[in-house]
Amino acid sequence: MNILITGATKGIGKAIAESLSDTNTIFATGRNQKLLSSYENYFVCDLSKQEELEKLGEYISQNKIDILINNAGEYIYSKIDEINYSQIEEIISVNLKAPLFLTSKAIPYMKEKKWGRIINIGSISGVMGEAGASLYSASKAGLIGGTKALALELAEFGITVNTINPGWVDTQMGNESAEEGDWTKEELLECIPQRRFVTPKEVAGMVKYLISDEAKGVTGQSINLCAGLSVGC
């Protein structure tokens, strides 16, 4: 299978690529060419820039992508009365516009093949909301809505569309996000029923299941992988 992963240079994206690389051809994207060069197939792209995004769309069409994993994301912690328009543009462009656009470019080949997998990496913040991160929460909630609509639209073609919503994840982004907030990491852990951050490998494992034939009946779902955070403290 040809699998394209956005944000593949570190964290969840890198873990997904490592998990799936044995029996698949990985196409990696990201902004850091030095980090991407460890992959045989890669495309340098800033998802917030329309011209670069459109070129990535062409790259997807040319390489007949069977599985698209929209993993790349931006996070901003800021009170609503302190944000500016450029921040709104950045978050919505990367977290919502880009996944929808790239999906539109992957779908024609998947329809022709009558098989495909779209997996969006959302966030528990898009399910529950997160004070101080309204831009992030809104963009990830939009991704969940898009997933449901696309699953209905594409079901007859053998294409499944799902979103995985990680809670706090033990990555550089996850730990930096924790530091930016109003609570310490220890205080955050007290609010997580399992008292731990999720690992990137756990997310990769869920991805591996969702692309398998065993999961062909799973579509349009918003799956919370959050160590119990969505249930309550």
State how far the Cα of 121 lies from the Cα of 112, in Å rounded to an integer. 25
136 among known catalytic residues: yes
Q: How far is CA 193 from CA 45, 127, 211, 233, in A?
A: 37, 17, 28, 6
Specify the CATH class of 2-167+199-225 in words.
alpha beta
State how far the Cα of 164 lies from the Cα of 103, in Å rounded to an integer. 16
Residue of 59, 75, 136, 209 marked active site: 136
Give long-range contacts, CB 8 A cutoff, 24+ apart: 48-56. Answer: 48/74, 48/89, 48/90, 48/93, 48/94, 48/98, 53/97, 53/98, 53/101, 53/102, 56/29, 56/102
Tens-digit pLDDT profile for the chain (233 aa)? 999 999 999 999 999 999 999 999 999 999 999 999 999 999 999 999 999 999 999 999 999 999 999 999 999 989 999 999 999 999 999 999 999 999 999 999 999 999 999 999 999 999 998 889 999 999 999 999 999 999 999 999 999 999 999 998 887 666 666 566 666 778 788 888 888 899 999 999 999 999 999 999 999 999 999 988 888 76
The amino acid at residue 115 is W
Q: Which residues contact 105 (CB under 8 A, 6 or more apart)?
A: 57, 58, 60, 61
**Which tens digits make up the pLDDT trace of 133-189?**
999 999 999 999 999 999 999 999 999 999 999 998 887 666 666 566 666 778 788
The pTM score is: 0.93
Annotated domain spans of the chain: 2-167+199-225
